[in-house]
Chain A
Amino acid sequence: MTAYETDLPTLPVEAGDPLLDLLNGFIAELRAVGIPASLTENLDAMEAVKHVPITDRETFKYALAATLVKNQAHWKAFETVFEVYFSLRGAQYEIAADDLDEADEADGEIRAEGDRGSGGDMLSPEELAEMLYRALMRGDSEMLRAAAREAVRRYAGMEPGRPVGGTYYLYRTLRNLDLEGVLERLMDAEQHTEGDVDDFDLRLRRDEFELRIAELKRQIEAEIRRRLVADRGVEAMAKTLRKPLPSDIDFMHASREEMASLRKAIYPLTRKLAARLVRKRRHGRAGPLDFRSTVRHSLSYGGVPVEPKFRHPRPHKPDIMVVADVSGSVAAFARFTLHLVHAISSQFSKVRSFVFIDGLDEVTGFFEGADDIAEAVHRVNTEADVVWVDGHSDYGHALGVFWDNYADDVGPRTTVLILGDARNNYHAPEGWIVKALQQKARHVFWLNPEPRSYWDTGDSIVGEYAPHCDGVFEVRNLRQLEAFVDRLA
């Protein structure tokens, strides 16, 4: 991930030009996040900012984005870095001295309202709630921002130098604001003010409010970042606030928000992958020499084989059997893999999928004829019968069920993919099954969502199965998953 930091030289900075200095730091940080900003793009950015007024933030931002970020998936990461480096530097973002003092005094706890003599501009919690409510009702973005600032000052309990990340403060602030309650209140008001609103109208308004609340959350996050940066400085905070690119998000530790961005990222990924595989098939002209045809064509040149003819390659389309552990932490990984494999199922001659925890169930039917793969994955989670005894992973038993019921379907054209972390809760591994499968099948691959260094620690028994597989791969993020599937097809 830090490859770009060292690979690419940064520009020599002319001494005394603060903007160039700043840009250099900015670009170094972009590379650290994983955005491949090359030297030419670096130069373009320097050139571009000369042409736009630096006072126009929006245009300035787009000028940098247009020259440095050439992939939409990187936009979010870019935005965060930009905000930290540039948006928080303006005079209006300076934190006034008394501002910090008050945050100090607040000491993280919500003070009993009223008893603090409402020092100047400090609002009571009721006033703040009312302000928030009105801002959301009207969709007044200025007021919303003011409310967000006030909320953070009051509830986040930020102290200078406290080594806590932004998420903690965000959680504290949101917990105190009770936004779901606010939404209910807003909807109630909508329902009662006007007589002739129908459900459809209400639904539209609810969407509107939800978007405003999302905007409020963004404002609160921005405010927290602003305060953190003011406290600890840009360079330190850039590192802490670094957001991974969607293709680098770890399946096992993705937050809810990251999961959403993963779900969004997987659809274009499958499309690209499918298009690439089709091309690979069509253009792979590595067929063997067609002797008959070559001789036949040589007749028109008097028997000289001027034009060698080749057979059309017959690409091998594998049968795929996916056997996925869907317990707890690895479930997300299994879901993405099932999603991906089924989305490009036209690239395989047949795809069958099985999920297990300690029992095992076939779920191919959920995907067949399903228009909506996300829906099918949801059904896998709710309807598949995967629990045998206690709902803790038991690879040995699950593999046993697979062997008893489906082993006959495993043939020499079949590729078996086993997905899981092989954390077996100290049950019997039954490694012989994998061995037997490998003898029957074309390939057996094991995909493990855990980092390689965790393998065979604790109750992980990848090592028991690995010798019998044709390959064991660490697949922790979309990038690795894509690379594997690309190889497979």
Chain B
Amino acid sequence: MSHRFTDVGAVQQDLSKVDYLCDSGLAGVVYLADRLDKPVLVEGPAGTGKTQLAKSVAEMTGSRLIRLQCYEGLDEAKALYEWNYKKQLLRIQTERDADVGWDEVSDDIFSDEFLLTRPLLEAIRAVDPIVLLIDEVDRVEVETEALLLEILSEYQVSIPELGTMEALQVPLVFLTSNNTRELSEALKRRCLYLHIDYPTMEREKEIVLAKVPDIAENLADQVARVVRSIRRLELKKPPSVSETLDWARTLVLLGVQHIDADVAAETVNILLKYQSDIAKANKELATVEGIEP
């Protein structure tokens, strides 16, 4: 089995080519996922680029991205496969006049032709390279998680009527979780675990520079600094990377050269979404005396 990546450094470089900047730890986990043929469970605060990671890896390797968005009530028929019931009925009706025995019909209507593939099955039956993204896996019930276990550990799907379908090629699998509940041990055991936290100030500055066109370097630097200071406060919802980018874009549009207290107070509502957080940030940033580290 050939591998997608040569070494960790290459992963990091290639990711940065598609504008996904990361540290060597993250690149290392992606590299290991490929080497060990294991899925990656990505956790972390909202808006730190968990979903983007899967997209970027797909872009970088030139694979097709298949995405399964999880939600409460997701079931087998939506995640794995479903029998095309209407087509089966049609088949039975057309066969009625012809002289075909029951056995043949019943065999017939449970064949490939009548199978509707859903994301998971599609991912393992594809012949082209695939990145499978199972988004927000913490939203499904614990019982539904079990649906995923077979595909995650064996890369196969068992269909009672057809037998076991094995993967034609091993897809890279990413699962993301916002950590609203503890995932089951069984699921965690099968995955490599990656926690993406808010980036360091330097990294965030690079991200701003890469993603916001026409931003001056010193403004990007200031943006990153202010966001870092705001994240140090105890807030309900600290600003995410995507909110940082929104803020930087706004500042560029407004033609701001230098952030001072007034500009920050006027635009902080782009970074923070709760009134109490905004009030707290404004109050804190107006004082020189810092909070306790």
Cα–Cα, bound, A201→B264 (Å): 11
Shortest C-beta distance, A66 to chain B (Å), equals 4
Q: Does B189 lie within 8 Å of A202, measured CB to CB?
A: no
Mark the stretch among A22-30, A115-123, A206-214 that contacts chain B: A206-214
Q: Does B189 lie within 8 Å of A62, measured CB to CB?
A: no
B29-48 interface with A by 8 A CB criterion = 29, 31-32, 35-36, 38, 40-41, 43-44
Q: Does A48 lie within 8 Å of B32, measured CB to CB?
A: yes
Cα–Cα, bound, A459→B110 (Å): 76
A374 proximal to B (CB < 8 A)? yes
B253 proximal to A (CB < 8 A)? no
A279-B141 contact given A41-B189, A51-B36, A199-B287, CB 8 Å threshold: yes
Mark the stretch among B98-106, B177-185, B211-219 that contacts chain A: B177-185
User: Which residues of chain A have C-beta atoms less than 8 A from B96's C-beta?
Assistant: none
Q: How large is the interface on A (under 10, 10 to 19, 20 to 34, 35 or more residues)?
A: 35 or more
B154 proximal to A (CB < 8 A)? no
Q: Does B8 lie within 8 Å of A59, measured CB to CB?
A: yes
A271 proximal to B (CB < 8 A)? yes
Shortest C-beta distance, A253 to chain B (Å), equals 21
A200-B193 contact given A56-B24, A66-B32, A374-B234, CB 8 Å threshold: no
Mark the stretch among B81-89, B117-125, B224-232 that contacts chain A: B224-232
Shortest C-beta distance, A46 to chain B (Å), equals 11
A214-B293 contact given A199-B287, A371-B274, A371-B276, CB 8 Å threshold: yes
Shortest C-beta distance, B30 to chain A (Å), equals 10
User: Which residues of chain B have C-beta atoms less than 8 A from A72's C-beta?
Assistant: 43-44, 179, 195
A206-B290 contact given A51-B36, A62-B25, CB 8 Å threshold: yes
Q: Does A211 lie within 8 Å of B32, measured CB to CB?
A: no
Cα–Cα, bound, A75→B195 (Å): 10
Cα–Cα, bound, A374→B277 (Å): 13
A175 proximal to B (CB < 8 A)? no
Q: Does A59 lie within 8 Å of B28, measured CB to CB?
A: yes
Q: Does B189 lie within 8 Å of A40, measured CB to CB?
A: yes
Shortest C-beta distance, A182 to chain B (Å), equals 13
A296 proximal to B (CB < 8 A)? no
Q: Which of B38, B195, B274, B289 has the most CB of A within 10 A?
A: B195
A275-B181 contact given A75-B195, A199-B288, CB 8 Å threshold: yes
Q: Does A198 lie within 8 Å of B31, measured CB to CB?
A: no
A63-B287 contact given A207-B232, A210-B293, A214-B293, CB 8 Å threshold: no
Shortest C-beta distance, B181 to chain A (Å), equals 5
A56-B8 contact given A41-B189, A276-B181, CB 8 Å threshold: yes
Q: Mark A46-85, 1 if CB is under 8 A from B, else 0.
A: 0110011100101101110111011110010000000000
Contact of B264 among A200, A263, A283 (CB under 8 A): A200
B286 proximal to A (CB < 8 A)? yes
User: Which residues of chain A have C-beta atoms less than 8 A from B28's C-beta?
Assistant: 52, 58-59, 62-63, 66
A204-B260 contact given A41-B189, A72-B43, CB 8 Å threshold: no
A17 proximal to B (CB < 8 A)? no
Q: Does A58 lie within 8 Å of B25, measured CB to CB?
A: yes
A251-280 interface with B by 8 A CB criterion = 263, 268, 271-272, 275-276, 279
Cα–Cα, bound, A157→B261 (Å): 46
A70-B193 contact given A62-B25, A206-B290, CB 8 Å threshold: yes
Cα–Cα, bound, A408→B227 (Å): 51
A136-171 interface with B by 8 A CB criterion = none
In chain B, what residue has the closest Cβ to A40? Answer: B189
A38 proximal to B (CB < 8 A)? yes
Q: Does A200 lie within 8 Å of B285, measured CB to CB?
A: yes
B60 proximal to A (CB < 8 A)? no
A371-B236 contact given A66-B194, A206-B290, A276-B181, CB 8 Å threshold: yes
A44-B261 contact given A72-B43, A75-B195, CB 8 Å threshold: no
A127 proximal to B (CB < 8 A)? no
Shortest C-beta distance, A7 to chain B (Å), equals 14
Q: Does A70 lie within 8 Å of B41, measured CB to CB?
A: yes
A172 proximal to B (CB < 8 A)? no
A126 proximal to B (CB < 8 A)? no
Cα–Cα, bound, A198→B262 (Å): 11
Q: Does A206 lie within 8 Å of B288, measured CB to CB?
A: yes
B23 proximal to A (CB < 8 A)? yes
Shortest C-beta distance, A153 to chain B (Å), equals 25
A316 proximal to B (CB < 8 A)? no
User: Which residues of chain A have C-beta atoms less than 8 A from B40's C-beta?
Assistant: 66
User: Which residues of chain A have C-beta atoms less than 8 A from B276's C-beta?
Assistant: 371-372
B275 proximal to A (CB < 8 A)? yes
Contact of B25 among A53, A59, A213, A263 (CB under 8 A): A59
User: Which residues of chain A have C-beta atoms less than 8 A from B181's C-beta?
Assistant: 272, 275-276
User: Which residues of chain A have C-beta atoms less than 8 A from B193's C-beta?
Assistant: 65-67, 69-71
User: Which residues of chain B have C-beta atoms less than 8 A from A372's C-beta?
Assistant: 236, 276, 280
Q: Does B36 lie within 8 Å of A44, measured CB to CB?
A: yes
Query: Can you list 12 A-B contacts (CB < 8 A)?
Result: A52-B32, A62-B24, A66-B192, A71-B193, A72-B43, A187-B288, A198-B261, A199-B286, A203-B288, A263-B234, A372-B236, A374-B234
A-to-B contact residues, CB < 8 Å: 36, 38, 40-41, 44, 47-48, 51-53, 56, 58-59, 61-63, 65-67, 69-72, 75, 187, 198-204, 206-208, 210-211, 213-214, 263, 268, 271-272, 275-276, 279, 283, 371-372, 374
B-to-A contact residues, CB < 8 Å: 8, 23-29, 31-32, 35-36, 38, 40-41, 43-44, 141, 179-182, 185, 188-189, 191-195, 222, 225-226, 228-229, 232, 234, 236, 259-261, 264, 274-276, 280, 284-290, 293
20 extra A-B contacts, CB within 8 A, seeds A66-B193, A283-B141, A371-B276: A38-B189, A48-B35, A51-B31, A51-B36, A63-B29, A70-B41, A199-B288, A200-B264, A203-B285, A203-B286, A204-B222, A204-B225, A204-B226, A206-B288, A208-B225, A213-B293, A272-B180, A275-B180, A275-B181, A374-B234
